[in-house]
Structure 1
Amino acid sequence: MMTGVMGSLQTEPAQSRPDLLAVPVVKALSMWPDEAPIDVDQVLVAPIDPGLADTAAFCEAYGVTLAESANCVIVAGRRGEVTKYAACVVLATTRADVNGVVRRHLDVRKCSFAPMEEAVSLTGMEFGGITPIGLPADWPILVDSRVIAAPHVIVGSGVRHSKIAVAGPALGALPGAHVIEGLARELG
């Protein structure tokens, strides 16, 4: 069970602070599934300095470990004229295997990180704050199995001036989520 403070973050229920969330995140929280492994009140948010939103700077400034931080990256895969988008959620100690596992899962010939402008435009979220909560409904959310094994993780909130704290298993239970063993590789 998460407490109200992680590292030096001062967290509170995300639904009570829509000012700290992107519009698609607010909408997704209002439709949080009853069968989710945690209640929506256990999705927490904390304000941060937007200049410290990038993972390494954030972790150092707020006393959160890389193993407690998850990154959500948007990938675009192509086969012929068809482009498929997906989100990959991986721990900050790892990197998504975009050209291997992700490409095969999406059944595309070519796969890469989506350009920043595209990711921002399609998600309605700020670059550096993209979160798996509130993404377009037809996008798969590929979650590395290490994320759901974590008791809690810190992930973007859709904006750069806050972060969401949530139980790892909740991310694997999001609508459209696919938990994948080996989605990411350890950095090092």
Structure 2
Amino acid sequence: MRHAPDIPPDITVQRPSADQITSFLKRRVDRVAAAQEPSPDSTGPTFPAVHRQHLRLGLSVDELGPDTDEGAKSIRAGARIKIACEIIGTWVEESLMAEVLKTYDITAYSEYAEARAAQARAELALATAKAEAQEFKKGPKGEGSGTKRKAGGQGTRGVDKLKKANTKGMASLTTFFVKKQ
């Protein structure tokens, strides 16, 4: 246990309460999440970056379905909470934001995100397998149908002119780099 320094009686010292900090951050997260909800009569601020994130996360109407579906609503609500925590988390410690995020129920979004990530990994594996199969069909380089890929034998004009230059009376280049005595 550390010894507390002597504090004069005219100074008030308060310890921060973890519960109050968590409740304050929850209010901020709720406010940012509420601002993300689409409402036609709202005059409050909107976050275009958040809408782009929704599209990136696959939360569009085309992929997830209309807002009337309860599953889609819970997934979108969880995504709003997660995005709001990421926005607020830029100014707060990660461990503290992780504690705040644990207080919310975002299981629907988490399951959807895991399923989407698994689908993306499967598509990537399939594309990789197709590319490897195509490469295998081509065979090693140099083999093939026997046709050459490049025209050979003809050099550039500049190289040909340099080859024809008469250098008999000229000193070699090494004489230019010898130390003078």
- TM bracket, shorter-chain basis: under 0.3
Q: Per residue, is there more strand in 1 or in 2? A: 1
TM-score after normalising by structure 1: 0.26
Q: Which has the higher contact order (CA 8 A, sep 6+)?
A: 1
Larger radius of gyration: 2
Q: Per residue, is there more helix in 1 or in 2? A: 2
